[in-house]
Structure 1
């Protein structure tokens, strides 16, 4: 039954283009959704993200001006979440953030911190070439934000809440607005994606996907 319930949630979930603005997600349900984002995995467990929950309608009206992909979702979503990606200021192997995270959040002893930072340096400098540019590091952090994004959308679907992930915005202008309106430090953060949560206004179209055989190759 649990397997079928999970598959039913994936069948239920769709990119909701417009929410029923009269329906609101309960505080308990939205806290549950956010918690699944908080508990999501990340590379080296360093959580290269920050969640902004945008509930102020006037602020949404300002932000939607540079979000062509959220014209109906921004105004009507019960809850609107912006997921920020942390930039090199945080994510470099030698940053204060990384050291502090390992010491204070992961509670690692000093010798393990140094060992893990050595692995992390090799990963960033050699394995993925993340130190070659700010763009490389930011793109790497941005890719990871899709893990909590997906987990929150799936968790929402399990409890009957609709969602819509959004990349349809001018990132430069949106970052500038977030800096002006909310004081976001652009040296430290950039907007990775947005996601609206709420309840559908209309029934969705039938789900279309390729067959499993078309997207899977086995080697035995």
Structure 2
């Protein structure tokens, strides 16, 4: 059985975490702490281990100002967060995409027969779940994976006593155009998925309110 102190630490971190609208702009996250948060994202699981994401750490004041104009739900966070991250989802991740081939050949170092076999596995899985029906369903699948990394980043931050806030409050088409125009991300390869801000709360939040466990968990 896990150490009870560790169990309590985990629950306390989840009670501590809340969607911080404004941060104390005078406080900055230590480099080692934020690198731990980034590592939690990098090491997150993804469907078939294909890592269909990219994490943009937006520290440039000029770029944050441009984000501000098209992100109605993130204005306070963009103005005050110590660190601000835009997570991108990779488009058209299929057995024949260059990204998948690179993951299999360079990262996992599969031989050609194993690459072919894995490609068939990818196609069978995607077909069975209607993932490869069209470009939209492929992007939706990739975007789901980014939320796994997002959750791990926020949980890691809470364990470190760092606040966070996930956000979808931006004009996705305008953001995609901006990333293209700035030469940051090719819209043929990536789409904006979700944003998340990190820092230290400006003021204490209201107590957390959630449904009781018996109302959301059913044992079968």
Question: Same fold, TM exceeding 0.5?
Answer: yes
Corresponding residue to 2:90 among 61, 86, 91: 86
Deviates more, 1:10-19 or 1:177-186: 177-186
CA-to-aligned-CA distance 1:154-173 (integer Å, 9 cap, x gap) = 00000100000000011001
CA-to-aligned-CA distance 1:34-56 (integer Å, 9 cap, x gap) = 00100000011010000000001
CA-to-aligned-CA distance 1:17-71 (integer Å, 9 cap, x gap) = 0011000001111111100100000011010000000001121011111111101
- Equivalent in the alignment of 2:113: 111
CA-to-aligned-CA distance 1:176-219 (integer Å, 9 cap, x gap) = 11111243210110000000000000101110111111111111
User: Considering only aligned residues, what root-mean-square deviation do their CA atoms show, in Å?
Assistant: 0.9
Aligned pairs for 1:185-196 (under 5 A) are: 185-196=186-197
Q: Which runs of 5+ in 2 are unaligned?
A: none
Q: Separation in 1 of the partners of 2:129 and 2:189?
A: 21
Q: Separation in 2 of the partners of 1:73 and 1:205?
A: 18
- Equivalent in the alignment of 2:25: 21
Q: Which runs of 5+ in 1 are unaligned?
A: none
| Cα shift at 1:115 | 1.3
Q: Give secondary structure in 2 for the equivalent of 1:69.
A: coil
- Equivalent in the alignment of 1:200: 201
CA contact (8 A) 1:93 1:124 kept: no
Q: Separation in 2 of the partners of 1:66 and 1:21?
A: 21
Aligned pairs, number: 216
Give me the TM-score of the superposition, normalised by structure 1. Answer: 0.96
Aligned pairs for 1:113-152 (under 5 A) are: 113-125=115-127, 127-152=128-153
- Equivalent in the alignment of 1:155: 156
Aligned pairs for 1:33-72 (under 5 A) are: 33-72=37-76
Q: Separation in 2 of the partners of 1:109 and 1:56?
A: 42
